[in-house]
């Protein structure tokens, strides 16, 4: 079984790399402005608009997928992901609070919104964990609490958007439904660096994460410092989610669909799961963004509309099949 999983993982990895190359080429060549090498507008179009946008899509997809894998490990629950558990909404709330309260000159600093989003996402996750002493034993309660906290955060976000329309209402759809229209090289750099660091952290501890999937007691018996690892998982997942939300708004269900699908295809070993989830998340958000900006030119479709069309049915099927079981 292990050889079969490993062989499948190699095939999936190769397919995903090829898909990423195809998505990159299509994203650079397709768009309302056309593709005309040799013209004066060609270089700025590619280097300042399309290339940063597709690379940011890859970064955001990887961040959300790996964060989803961490959340599912943290709660030992296939239903957990940054969107379902309210972390995305908390990160969006943190970013919107910063937009409404801080001077514009400070908002222009590249790290301001990610830090604010991180604080919001971490606060929601910490609150969820504090309300659920044993999250791995109550998946339905986890789901309901996460949805409730996410709804509260979204309501607070909507109130702020209405209270300070001159500063925030213009970007309401950006934060509520997701968009990569503001992509630039600073955002690309931060997203990819955080993705690489977050992925490297998990890969260096993949055996520890595998042990956690057996349950806190078994992991403790194997020598894992469960409390410290849980707190680290919380912080890393919140950081990765918050960076994604800060630069792309709330993109639903990526962290749910991708790691669970990869786990079904290639097994639950985090050594494979994290790498393949990152690649699959990059491909998914890359193709979703390509569809979003080309389907209704010259406008674009918010990202979460497309990802929800994929993720919502997947979530319903998963919920009906889970019947309260934790991940195995």
Report the alpha-carbon angle 284-289-291, nearest 5: 100
User: Does residue 207 or residue 168 have the better pLDDT?
Assistant: 207
CA distance 222 to 226: 10
Q: Report pTM.
A: 0.88
pLDDT tens for residues 67-120? Answer: 999 988 888 877 788 888 888 889 889 888 888 887 766 766 667 777 888 888
- Contacts within 8 Å (CB) and 24+ apart, 222-230: 229/205, 230/74, 230/129
Give residue 288's pLDDT band: very low, low, confident or very high (50, 70, 90).
very high
CA distance 49 to 251: 20
User: Does residue 191 or residue 103 have the better pLDDT?
Assistant: 191
User: Has residue 18 got a pLDDT over 90?
Assistant: yes
**Phi, psi at 102, each rounded to 5°:** -90, 155
Nearest alpha carbon to residue 92 among 170, 167, 178: 178
CA distance 20 to 97: 35
Three state DSSP letters for the chain = CHHHHHHHHHHHHHHHHHHHHHHHHHHHHCCCCCCCCCCCCHHHHHHHHHHHHHHHHHHHHHHHHHHHHHHHHHHCCCCCCCCCCCHHHHHHHHHHHHHHHCCHHHHCCCCHHHHHHHHHHHHHHHHHHHHCCCHHHCHHHHHHHHHHHHHHHHHHHHHHHHHCHHHHHHHHHHHHHCCCCCCCHHHHHHHHHHHHHHHHHHHHCHHHHHHHCCCHHHHHHCCCCHHHHHHHHHHHHHHHHHHHHHHHCCCCCHHHHHHHHHHHHHCCCHHHHHHHHHHHHHHHHHHHHHHHHHCCCCCCCCHHHHHHHHHHHHHHHHHHHHCCCCCC
Percent of the chain with pLDDT over 70: 85
Q: What is the pLDDT of residue 285?
A: 96
pLDDT tens for residues 299-317? Answer: 788 899 999 998 888 878 8
pLDDT tens for residues 246-272? Answer: 888 889 899 999 999 999 888 889 999
Average pLDDT over residues 269-291: 95
pLDDT tens for residues 210-244? Answer: 998 888 788 888 888 888 888 888 889 988 998 99
User: Does residue 323 or residue 295 have the better pLDDT?
Assistant: 295
């Amino acid at each position: 079984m292990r050889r079969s999983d490993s062989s499948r993982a190699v095939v999936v990895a190769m397919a995903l790399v090829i898909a990423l190359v195809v998505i990159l080429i299509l994203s650079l060549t397709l768009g309302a402005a056309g593709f005309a090498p040799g013209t004066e507008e060609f270089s700025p179009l590619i280097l300042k608009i399309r290339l940063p946008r597709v690379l940011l899509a890859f970064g955001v997809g990887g961040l959300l997928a790996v964060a989803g894998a961490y959340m599912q490990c943290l709660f030992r629950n296939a239903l957990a992901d940054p969107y379902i558990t309210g972390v995305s909404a908390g990160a969006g709330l943190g970013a919107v609070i910063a937009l409404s309260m801080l001077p514009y000159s400070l908002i222009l600093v590249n790290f301001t919104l990610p830090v604010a989003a991180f604080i919001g996402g971490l606060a929601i996750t910490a609150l969820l964990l504090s309300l659920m002493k044993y999250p791995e034993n109550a998946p339905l309660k986890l789901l309901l609490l996460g949805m409730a906290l996410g709804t509260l955060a979204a309501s607070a976000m909507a109130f702020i958007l209405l209270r300070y329309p001159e500063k925030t209402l213009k970007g309401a759809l950006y934060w509520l439904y997701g968009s990569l229209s503001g992509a630039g090289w600073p955002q690309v750099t931060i997203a990819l660096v955080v993705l690489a660091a977050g992925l490297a952290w998990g890969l260096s501890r993949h055996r520890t994460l595998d042990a956690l999937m057996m349950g806190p007691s078994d992991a403790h018996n194997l020598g894992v410092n469960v409390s410290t690892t849980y707190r680290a998982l919380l912080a890393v997942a919140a950081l990765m989610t918050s960076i994604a939300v800060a630069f792309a708004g709330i993109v639903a269900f990526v962290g749910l669909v991708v790691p669970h699908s990869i786990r079904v295809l290639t097994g639950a070993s985090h050594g494979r799961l994290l790498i393949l989830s990152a690649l699959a998340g990059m491909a998914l958000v890359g193709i979703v963004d390509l569809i979003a900006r080309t389907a209704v030119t010259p406008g674009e479709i918010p990202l979460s509309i497309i990802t929800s069309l994929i993720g919502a049915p997947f979530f319903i099927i998963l919920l009906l099949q889970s019947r309260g079981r934790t991940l195995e």
